[in-house]
Amino acid sequence: MTRRIRSKALACVGMLAAVALGACARHPQSVFRPAGPVARMELGLMATSLWIMIGVFVVVAGALLYVIARFRERKGQEGIPPQVEGSHILEVLWTGIPIILVALLTVLTVRTTFALAKPPASSQHPLQITVVGHQWWWEFKYPQYGIVTADTMHIPVNRKIELSLQSADVLHSFWIPALGGKEDTVPGQTNLLWLEATRTGTFPGQCAEFCGTSHSLMRMYAVSQSPTAFSTWVHGMQHPNSAPKTKLAKQGMQIFATNCALCHSIGGTPFTKGTLGPNLTGLGNRRVIVGGALQNNTQDIIYWVHDAQHIMPDTIMPNFSTLLTPSQLQAVAAYLEGLKRG
Ligand code: CUA
């Protein structure tokens, strides 16, 4: 084996091992741990196709190895061995079997595609969520409840979720692997997708279409909750506790009014006009901010407001490093952290 072939072979083995280990790892952002019927159907189709292909590979590679061993040139052998071209049996076999397999794959794929394209019946009371892809964050609107939020999509377990996918700017792709997907968000168009989570938990997702400089930071979470916990969340978002409680937070609210309210809205406050940036209602209760790129704590909020362009290059969120003093940044962070659900 030459050195080049050996290193290529090693690279191939390495990649296969990485794929195999990736499949085994208990990572939540994985199609191998489906948490609902859509993801399960898609995984089933993938597994069936994979097994068919493994079968084909084993048969073809086996036949090849057998032929190489059985019909190799032997000592003392002379002339060309008997030829089999034009063998009717072989021609029929290697034309017929692939046709049957491709037909089988087609039927399975079309059946799954149609099953997934069928929206849930209204008798199943699907929850409507409008998902808007922005450069680079996800917005979730609940028209049935009048709620707007970002980064984390709360859903009740065991209930069909009907998503209307839209884009505010460029092509994005909505993908929460444990629940199913992916589906593009296209400017000027609404794409429909339904999902369901059959167990509670937090399922991470990711924009799956290259959409600009900070595409890789465009993450999101789906939080699947019991119906009671979901109702509590809805109620809390509808009746948020947005009043500043400390002197510092009150000061932060003033700074917010002049610097931030043009782009951000907050439920339960006079700030209702800003739609360019994420709605910040109940921000204090969120686990992550900036699509999961930052944790929700004072330090990270200040870091973000101070230097957004460094964290998320080319975001429309400006750097406030030259506009706000360190103590003003502290005040804004105190105000934002105090925004709680009711
Ligand atoms: Cu949005 Cu990639």
Could you tell me the CA-to-CA distances from 262 to 107, 268, 279, 305 in Å, in that order?
Answer: 53, 16, 11, 15
Class of domain 247-337: mainly beta
Task: Check if the beta carbon of residue 334 is closer than 8 Å to that of residue 281.
Answer: no
For the Cβ of 207 lying below 6 angstroms from any atom of ligand 1, the answer is yes
CA of 29 to the centre of ligand 1 (A): 16
What average pLDDT is seen over the chain? 91
For the Cβ of 156 lying below 6 angstroms from any atom of ligand 1, the answer is no
- Torsion angle of alpha carbons 30, 35, 38, 41, nearest 10°? 80
For the Cβ of 172 lying below 6 angstroms from any atom of ligand 1, the answer is yes
CA of 218 to the centre of ligand 1 (A): 6
CA of 133 to the centre of ligand 1 (A): 8
Which tokens is 9 given? 């072979």
Task: Check if the beta carbon of residue 316 is closer than 8 Å to that of residue 135.
Answer: yes
- Give the model's confidence band at 80: pLDDT under 50 very low, under 70 low, under 90 confident, else very high: confident
- Give the model's confidence band at 84: pLDDT under 50 very low, under 70 low, under 90 confident, else very high: confident
All structural domains of the chain with their residue ranges: 124-238, 247-337
Task: Check if the beta carbon of residue 165 is closer than 8 Å to that of residue 184.
Answer: yes
Task: Say what the pLDDT of residue 285 is.
Answer: 93
Task: Check if the beta carbon of residue 217 is closer than 8 Å to that of residue 290.
Answer: yes
CA of 312 to the centre of ligand 1 (A): 13
Range of weakest confidence among 26-40, 133-147, 218-232: 26-40
The CATH number assigned to the domain with range 124-238 reads 2.60.40.420
Among 152, 183, 161, 187, CA closest to 278: 152
| Residue pLDDT, tens place only, 216-261 | 999 999 999 999 999 999 999 999 999 999 999 999 999 999 999 9
Q: Do 124-238 and 247-337 come out as alike in CATH topology?
A: yes
Which tokens is 201 given? 């938990």
Could you tell me the CA-to-CA distances from 227 to 29, 30, 88, 220, 307 in Å, in that order?
Answer: 23, 25, 64, 21, 39
Range of weakest confidence among 10-24, 50-64, 306-320: 10-24
CA distance 262 to 277: 9
Measured in degrees and rounded to the nearest 5, phi and psi for residue 162 equal -105, 115
CA distance 158 to 289: 27
